[in-house]
């Protein structure tokens, strides 16, 4: 149940956001997030953005994994 889906924030209107992933659009409540900006990747759980996704960290994780044992 603790599913969180990374989606891209495409519209903000106060605490109401619209997020998109793979062509699917979903309303996202932004009231639990500070300073959300259009273009941010956010993690959606039960209709709420619960955290921003740190894209640089994602890149670092993948890079580290590609490099181990190489």
Partner 1 sequence: MKYIDEFRDRKLIGKVARQIREAVKPRRACRFMEVCGTHTMSIFRFGLKEILPGNITLISGPGCPVCVTPNAFLDKAIALAGMKGVIVTTFGDMLRVPGSYSTLEKEKAKFNSVRMVYSTDDALDMARRNPDKEVVFIGIGFETTSPTVARSILTAGKEKIKNYSVLCGHKTMPQALRALLDDKKIGIDGLLLPGHVSAIIGVKPYEFLVKDKSKGCIIAGFEPLDIMQAILMLVKQKGPKLEVQYTRVIEKNGNPLARKAIGEVFQKADSEWRGLGIVKDSGLEINKKYSFFDAEKRFKLNVKPPKENKNCICGDVLKGIKTPEDCRLFGKACAPEHPVGACMVSGEGSCAAYYKYKARVYA
For position 13 contacting partner 1 by CB under 8 A, the verdict is no
Helix (H, G, I), strand (E, B) or coil at 63: helix
For position 43 contacting partner 1 by CB under 8 A, the verdict is yes
Pick from 11, 25, 32, 38: which binds partner 1 (CB under 8 A)? 32
Q: Which residues pair with 4 in a beta bridge?
A: none
Helix (H, G, I), strand (E, B) or coil at 22: coil
For position 62 contacting partner 1 by CB under 8 A, the verdict is yes
Secondary structure percentages of the chain, helix, strand, coil, to 5: 20, 45, 35
Q: Which residues bind partner 1 (CB under 8 A)?
A: 1-6, 8, 21-22, 27, 29, 31-34, 41, 43, 45-48, 50-51, 53-55, 57-58, 60-62, 65-66, 68-69
């Amino acid at each position: 149940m603790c599913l969180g889906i990374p989606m891209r924030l495409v519209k903000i209107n106060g605490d109401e956001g619209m997020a998109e992933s793979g062509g699917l659009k979903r309303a996202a409540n932004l009231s639990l997030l500070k300073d959300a900006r259009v273009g941010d990747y956010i993690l959606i759980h039960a209709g709420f953005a619960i955290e921003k996704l740190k894209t640089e960290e994602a890149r670092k994780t993948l890079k580290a994994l590609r490099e181990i044992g190489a």
